């Protein structure tokens, strides 16, 4: 957008040699007012500037300035949101989150006595149903563990698999698929299961400024993919 004027000396035509484009985005308030005063001082007394043109120039500058200020405000808001998101993300390190997936990572470690332990947590969405069966399969589809859910279990019921197979042997760390089913009116029905994963670290996408969570199984998770936090 350029300023329209009756004085070609003050406002050279676009593309004129040795001139700079009078873009509103390149002008500040002081520049505009200086030019406006000079324009009024050098106008032809016999052909004074039209009031409509004068008001139009002021409106143009006001609009451009408002857009610039709005862009600056949005830039500041974006930076603030990114900083806030980063702080929220770092607070999740070493905590567990659940997603819509029923695949979780079995973590191995040692207890306070130095004995080997393992755990994979999940949430079984029983809704109004009670009890049922829990199944754990490896990623090849082989059933490695099953157990009955307590009869009093209902709603979002949290479970933990200790990493042992049907014979009590310890399974290796890695991804496992958890499923569950319940008996409704004599009919066996599958129910949703949401595996938990531990957040190891946080990373920032330099292109978008958005934060993502690095999970213990090596995958990345966006904030939008979080179902619950534990």
The CATH number assigned to the domain holding 199 equals: 2.60.40.4070
112, 32: one domain: no
**Looking at residues 188-199, what average pLDDT do you find?**
95
Beta strands in 13-167 (DSSP E): 96-98, 103-110, 116-125, 132-138, 143-149, 156-161
Question: Please, which pLDDT band fits residue 4 given cuts at 50, 70 and 90?
Answer: very low
Q: How many domains does the chain have?
A: 2
Q: pTM of whole model > 0.85?
A: no
- Domain termination residue (choose one: 60, 90, 120): 90
The helices-and-strands tally (H runs, E runs) of the chain is: 2, 12
Helix axes 29-41, 51-90, angle to 10 degrees: 180
190, pLDDT greater than 90: yes
Give domain status of residue 185, yes or no. yes
Predicted pLDDT of residue 210: 80
* Residue 135 structural domain: 96-229
Mean pLDDT, all residues of the chain: 79
Q: Give dist(CA 119, CA 105) in Å, integer.
A: 9
Give domain status of residue 128, yes or no. yes
């Amino acid at each position: 957008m350029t300023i329209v004027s009756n004085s070609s000396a003050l406002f050279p035509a676009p593309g004129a040699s040795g001139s700079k484009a009078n873009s509103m985005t390149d002008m500040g308030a002081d520049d505009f007012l200086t030019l406006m005063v000079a324009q009024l001082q050098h106008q032809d007394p016999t052909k004074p500037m039209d009031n409509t043109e004068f008001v139009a120039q002021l409106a143009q500058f006001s609009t451009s300035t408002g857009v610039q200020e709005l862009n600056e405000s949005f830039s500041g808001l974006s930076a603030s949101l990114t900083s806030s998101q980063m702080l929220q993300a770092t607070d999740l390190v070493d905590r567990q989150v659940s997603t819509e997936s029923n695949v979780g990572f079995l973590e191995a470690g040692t207890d306070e006595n130095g004995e080997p332990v393992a755990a994979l947590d999940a949430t079984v969405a029983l809704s109004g149903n009670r009890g049922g069966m829990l199944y754990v399969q490896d990623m090849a589809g082989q059933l490695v563990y099953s157990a009955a859910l307590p009869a009093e279990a209902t709603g979002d019921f949290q479970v933990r698999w200790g990493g042992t197979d049907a014979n009590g042997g310890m399974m290796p760390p890695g991804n496992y698929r958890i499923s569950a089913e319940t008996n409704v009116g004599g009919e066996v029905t599958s129910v949703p299961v949401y595996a938990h994963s531990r957040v190891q670290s946080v990373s920032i996408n330099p292109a978008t400024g958005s934060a993502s969570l690095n999970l213990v199984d090596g995958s990345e998770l966006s904030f939008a993919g979080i179902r619950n936090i534990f």
